[in-house]
């Protein structure tokens, strides 16, 4: 009897764990109407929250990690953010953040490759992150 109870509890726990493969719907972006990109204090705080969520205030890891954060260049349409973290051991992790729901989702490389073009579709240069650390785009 105990084995079957254990199996039921284990299966219910596994079922309730959030799945990183949950479908993430991205609304079509709005093009930036100006010739410049605004990155203000709110954007800076969002980027910092994304980094802190992934690295958990570990400055020694942060200092050796290539961080790239992407969002729409149009500051009126920055609900979706996506980031990559390439660690010193050459592993890479990815994170999606939705501002209006204050929701972080760990994603895999395939999801990153699928979501990134949707998020930066309206950007003039889709390859350059809106924020980065330890990365030189030139």
pLDDT digits (tens, 9 = 90+) for 98-137: 999 999 999 999 999 999 999 999 998 899 999 999 987 6
CA-CA distance, 132 to 123, in Å (whole number)? 16
Q: Is the dihedral of CA 67, 72, 75, 81 positive or negative?
A: negative
> What pLDDT score does 5 carry?
53
Q: Which residue has the higher pLDDT, 9 or 51?
A: 51
Q: Which residue has the higher pLDDT, 8 or 51?
A: 51
2-32 as b/e, with b when 16 or more CB fall inside 10 Å? eeeeeeeeeeeeeeeeeeeeeebebeebeeb
pLDDT tens digits, residue range 16-61? 344 445 578 888 888 888 878 889 999 999 999 999 999 999 999 9
- pLDDT of 4 higher than 60: no
> What pLDDT score does 84 carry?
98
> What pLDDT score does 24 carry?
84
> What pLDDT score does 50 carry?
98
Lateral strand order in the sheet of 66-71: 103-107, 92-98, 80-86, 66-71, 131-133
């Amino acid at each position: 009897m105990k084995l079957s109870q254990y199996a039921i509890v284990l299966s219910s726990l596994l079922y309730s764990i959030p799945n990183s493969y949950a479908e993430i719907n991205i609304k079509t972006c709005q093009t930036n109407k100006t010739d410049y990109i605004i990155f203000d204090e709110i954007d800076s705080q969002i980027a910092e929250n994304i980094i802190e969520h992934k690295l958990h205030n570990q400055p020694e890891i942060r200092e050796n990690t290539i961080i790239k954060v992407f969002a729409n260049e149009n500051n009126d349409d920055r609900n979706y953010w996506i980031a990559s973290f390439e660690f010193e051991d050459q592993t890479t992790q990815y994170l999606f953040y939705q501002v209006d729901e204050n929701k972080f989702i760990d994603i895999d490389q395939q999801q990153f490759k699928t979501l990134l073009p949707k998020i930066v579709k309206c950007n003039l240069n889709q390859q350059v992150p809106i924020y980065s650390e330890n990365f030189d785009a030139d």
